[in-house]
Structure 1
Amino acid sequence: MANVEIYSGDYCPYCVRAKNLLKNKGVEFVEYDVQRDLARQAAMVERSGGARSIPQIFINGKHIGGCDDLYALDSRGELDPMLAG
């Protein structure tokens, strides 16, 4: 199974939507709350190439983008192979 990381925050409907997609696929992920941890927020911005919106999602260290990007990968049939490893 792939290593999935998601930088998120409370009361973020896009974060909830992205996490629900991953959960529905049976994917475990590591979640970082960037609203409470400024160091994590800085790490997210650096890793994502400057993106400040949440969620920011990484699969096996590769920056995927946000919620819409995750769903776009899924609709093109590209997400499952990435999650398989």
Structure 2
Amino acid sequence: MGEIVLYGADWCGDCRRAKAWLRENGVPFTEVDVEHDEAARERAVEIAGGRKNIPVVVLPGGRVLVEPTNVELAEAVRAATA
């Protein structure tokens, strides 16, 4: 499986939930802090098609999820690893 990248911030509840789900399910990911890195913040907005919502999750193969629920995250990870 390729790398999953999660763009988020520590203060973001949806980010904390998504990171917890990934950790609980043993899914490796790289976290990019958009609060303290302006270039990362701009990249996340670009990836998300102009949306400023977080988390932005980039899956192997390039699929992008913005503010996914745990169910959406599970389905996308399952599809990316199939």
Q: CA RMSD in A?
A: 1.8
- Residue pair 2:54, 2:66 contacting (<8 A) in 1 also: no
TM-score (norm 1): 0.81
Unaligned runs of 5+ in 2: none
Q: For residue 81 of structure 1, what is the aligned residue in structure 2?
A: 79
**Letter of the structure 1 residue corresponding to residue 9 of structure 2:** G
> What residue in structure 2 maps to residue 3 of structure 1?
3
Matched pairs, number? 81
Q: Extract structure 1 runs of 4+ deviating beyond 3 A.
A: none
Listed one character per residue, the Cα deviations across residues 1-52 of structure 1 (whole Å, up to 9, x for unaligned) are 2320100101211111001111111111011100111111001111111121
Structure 1: which 5+ residue stretches go unaligned? Answer: none
- The change in CA–CA distance for 1:38 and 1:28 in structure 2 (over 3 A counts) is same
After TM superposition, list the pairs within 5 Å mapping 1:53-72 onto structure 2.
Answer: 53-60=53-60, 61-68=62-69, 70-72=70-72
- The percentage of counterpart residues that share the same residue type is 31
